[in-house]
Chain A
Amino acid sequence: MTMPALATRSRSAVWRRQFLLQGCWNYEGMQNVGFAYAILPALRDFYANRPEEALKAVKRHLEFFNTQPVMGALILGASVRLEERVAAGEADPRAIGTFKVGLMGSLGAIGDSFFWGALRPMASVAGALLALLHPLLGIAALLLIYNGVHLMVRRRGFAAGMEGPEGAVGWLKRAALNVRTDDRKLLAAILAGAYAGVFAGRFLVQGGGVPHALASLLIAAAAVHLFVVLLRKAVSPSEILLFLLIVGVLILWR
């Protein structure tokens, strides 16, 4: 059987549709509907005159799927390439499910750590600091820092996936996201330290001399340490804020 061609228009449609991977996020199949929706234009090309096989292919992609949405681009690209091979009779359809299940967990963990644990905090704190100069400057910094990397990973990940599972794995190695995660975490910590220093300097020191300033700094550092300990003991920020709200109400009551 000859390899069915993927039209440029369909490839672009799959690329665009990846942004709606979580469009029907649900507790049962999670991103399953979004994934099937994203890959549908490619399936229509591959199984153009074979409705029964097209139906089976769509059902394959309605199975449970969940990963970090940006990293989903890589799996999506590789799945398109695998479907192309299945349509040409060169691969077993079960290989697609195995590939997706095998990769979604590990890529999810890498993506969560990089995007949610490092890049987003770094972009957020950079934006918050610059917003002290001008709100629009802060917003621009936040969006540019995050999306510069986010969109590049989506584009390159999808392209690497389209080279097939081997290309996807090769790109993952070259991207070295674990090293980049550590670098961004370090930057986020530096910026968060600056943020804490600015606000402690502004709010805690109201006159007084050097001893008062030093005491304020120590109190601020102790407060940060206490909050970090609480957050690491799975106390949520909401619970801390609720506690402070109750303290506030008690102050007003008094």
Chain B
Amino acid sequence: MTWRYLLAILLGGLCYLDRTAACQLMLHRPLVVATLMGAVFGNMAAGAQVGVVLELIYLARLPVGASIPPDDTGAAVFGGSAAAIASSSIGLDAGSFTALLLLSVVVAEAGKTADRFVRKVNVRIARLTAESVDRGDVQAVEHGLLAGLTLFAVTGMVLALVFSGAGVAVSKELLPRFGPASRANFAILLPALPLLGAASVYSCSRTERTAVVFFLTMAAVFGGTVLFRWSV
């Protein structure tokens, strides 16, 4: 298990760097992160299953100005690792799937708090950089940036370790405590989650033209899916 955690820390750290500090190549998106974590902890498909739903849920919160959206990367680290472990021990039934998606909100908010903390510490780094430049040290700019990057990377690695550990613990300790009947009851909430994701995309892509198009497409694809399910 140790090497799995080491890999999770390494990949998680890289994904967290991509989130704010470097590149923004979308390697930090839940679909990517949850699939990676699923693969690291033994079941890529289960991780991707969580990633597909988490990918859209937080899209309505834009990283504009000084506002920090919930940490969907952390939610995906938690959800991907938990789904992989849960699917190998008790099987990723609909109830466990729902529970993991809902519990990931706690992680997303905790990650947001950590992100805020890093940016506050960076204020100190930026001030020190400016002071050093005032004293004539131009290279302080490079040192300041390196310090900021390191802080983002280390925080990302720590969060990846904590959130993947939490995911494994939830799957091994919490979910098995509930019987199949309880988990089936919990699954009643599952349809709401992808619909929340679709609403999230729709709310940020809303223009005069999109309302009709959105609901017409939804009805057409719904009809196609139901007909396909009835025919097989």
Which residues does A use to contact B, with CB under 8 Å? Answer: 19-20, 22-30, 32-34, 36-37, 40, 51, 54-55, 58-59, 62, 66, 69-70, 108, 112, 116-118, 120-125, 127-128, 131-132, 135-136, 138-139, 142-143, 146-147, 150, 182, 184-186, 188-205, 213, 216-217, 220-221, 223-225, 227-228, 231-232, 236-238, 240-242, 244-245, 247-248, 251-252
**Of B21, B63, B98, B129, which one neighbours A20 at CB under 8 angstroms?**
B21
Closest to B144 in A: A33
Could you list 28 examples of A-B contacts with CB < 8 Å? Answer: A20-B149, A22-B20, A23-B146, A27-B122, A121-B201, A128-B56, A131-B52, A136-B35, A139-B35, A142-B55, A146-B25, A147-B26, A185-B206, A186-B213, A189-B213, A193-B216, A196-B199, A196-B218, A196-B221, A197-B223, A220-B218, A223-B195, A228-B199, A237-B58, A237-B61, A241-B196, A248-B189, A252-B185
B214 to chain A, nearest CB (A): 4
B96 to chain A, nearest CB (A): 12
| Chain A binding surface, main DSSP class | helix
Residues on B with C-beta less than 8 A from A241 are 57, 101-102, 104-105, 193, 196
- Give bound CA distance, A206 to B65, whole Å: 45
- In the assembled complex, B48 has its CB within 8 A of some CB on chain A: yes
Whether A33 lies near B26 (C-beta < 8 A) is: no
Whether B141 lies near A40 (C-beta < 8 A) is: yes
- Give bound CA distance, A135 to B50, whole Å: 11
**Of B48, B58, B122, which one neighbours A25 at CB under 8 angstroms?**
B122
Whether A58 lies near B138 (C-beta < 8 A) is: yes
B66 to chain A, nearest CB (A): 6
- Which residues of chain B (188-216) have a CB below 8 Å from chain A? 188-207, 209-211, 213-216
Sample of 18 further A-B pairs with CB below 8 A, known A26-B119, A192-B214, A197-B220: A23-B145, A24-B144, A27-B122, A33-B129, A40-B141, A69-B24, A121-B201, A135-B31, A146-B26, A147-B26, A193-B202, A193-B217, A194-B218, A213-B226, A223-B195, A224-B199, A244-B192, A248-B102
Whether B26 lies near A120 (C-beta < 8 A) is: yes
- Give bound CA distance, A194 to B60, whole Å: 18
- Give bound CA distance, A203 to B52, whole Å: 15
**Of B25, B127, B141, B224, which one neighbours A147 at CB under 8 angstroms?**
B25
Q: 1/0 contact trace for B60-94 toward A, CB 8 Å?
A: 11111110001000000000000000000000000
Residues on B with C-beta less than 8 A from A29 are 126, 130
Residues on A with C-beta less than 8 A from B192 are 223, 244
Closest to B120 in A: A27
- Give bound CA distance, A243 to B183, whole Å: 18
**Of A33, A117, A138, which one neighbours B62 at CB under 8 angstroms?**
A117
Given A19-B22, A33-B125, check contact A193 B218 (CB 8 Å): yes
**Of A27, A34, A182, A217, which one neighbours B207 at CB under 8 angstroms?**
A182
Closest to A151 in B: B25
Whether A201 lies near B229 (C-beta < 8 A) is: yes
Whether B191 lies near A203 (C-beta < 8 A) is: yes
**Most B CB within 10 A of own CB, among A117, A132, A196, A224:** A196
Whether A128 lies near B55 (C-beta < 8 A) is: yes
Whether A199 lies near B226 (C-beta < 8 A) is: no
A50 to chain B, nearest CB (A): 12
Residues on A with C-beta less than 8 A from B203 are 227-228, 231-232
Q: 1/0 contact trace for B136-151 toward A, CB 8 Å?
A: 1010011011111100
Whether A135 lies near B225 (C-beta < 8 A) is: no
- In the assembled complex, B45 has its CB within 8 A of some CB on chain A: yes
Whether A139 lies near B32 (C-beta < 8 A) is: yes
- In the assembled complex, B6 has its CB within 8 A of some CB on chain A: no
Given A25-B148, A33-B141, A241-B105, check contact A188 B201 (CB 8 Å): yes
